[in-house]
Structure 1
Amino acid sequence: MFEAHYRQVLRFAERRAGDAETAKDIASETFVVAWRRLDKVPDTPEESLPWLYGVARNVLANEQRGLRRGGRLSARLRRTTPVAPAAPDHAEGVVTGLHLREALGTLSERDREALQLVGWEGLDTQQAALVVGCSARAFAVRLHRARRRLESALARTEQEEPRGRLRELDGELGELGTGLRLKGRRT
């Protein structure tokens, strides 16, 4: 399980932790928890990876509670949203990434998490629901609402029509765009 999923759990942690060392600690702690609770780990890789994401999410939550006491959490959260990959025209890609970062920054943590689980981690609604601890139907509703809020935030950020700009960004955002696709949704 460690060999099959360590890199994915590490990337999951890197996207949320803000620095590489904290992400490594979170990934390591995730597998310590898995070792201690080996009887609770699902048998199939399709179920074990979302279970590990859920554990990593809880480990990260514990870490963030500690940071909150020191007043450093808000600075780390601002760094957790990476800039989208640059488009062929570098300047346009940078502007697109900045608009996306700004729009994502206006969303609640819950909305960002739903979009990240589907867009960055490539989970379907069933797997993402396991991570956050709700039903697949409830997660699908959460994801739908998060997508609409992101569209509105992008429209406010760029003063454009929300659906049109998200479709345009869809091709420029790589994996994140795939998770946000309006037509032919992956859920």
Structure 2
Amino acid sequence: MTQSARHLTEVLERESADLLRYFRRRVALEDAADLLAETGMTAWRRADDLPSDSEGARRWLFTVARNTFLNYQRGQQRRLALASRVRAVLTRADHVSPSADDGIEVRDAISRLPPELAELVRLIHWDGFTIAEAAEIIGMSDTTARTRYQRARAELRATLSATINTKSSI
């Protein structure tokens, strides 16, 4: 172990409890533990910058901790801003959500397909990807995807026709 690694180990052992209290006063316990770990990782990456004197090392470590906390706060603010934007979009939505049983026959028919075909159909029709894009996501060639997509459509058509015929005879 190098001299700077030994010195950092000593400083971290001596200051960890105080650093945890520092974080605990600002965030929940589980976040405080994560922030302490992040501080330790950052300190290890920058171990050569650690001052040799005890008081300077403590201040340096708390500076690293404060910067870690500020990064955490910025991340929290970004997440809150994103959540607000999503809420605003959902609030402005022009359409009403379909009822829970809307399209149940289609969902049921898709779920009866082999998993890879079902995923291909979902990617194309529910997620808006082209056949080529869906093929890339799944990890197959465009040609294979086109062939499988045609097979999936035929199976869905047959299943849905059977469902409609069964309902109309009831």
Under a length normalisation based on structure 1, what TM-score does the superposition of the two structures give?
0.36
Under a length normalisation based on structure 2, what TM-score does the superposition of the two structures give?
0.40
Q: Give the number of the structure with larger relative contact order, counting CA–CA contacts within 8 Å between residues 6 or more apart.
A: 1
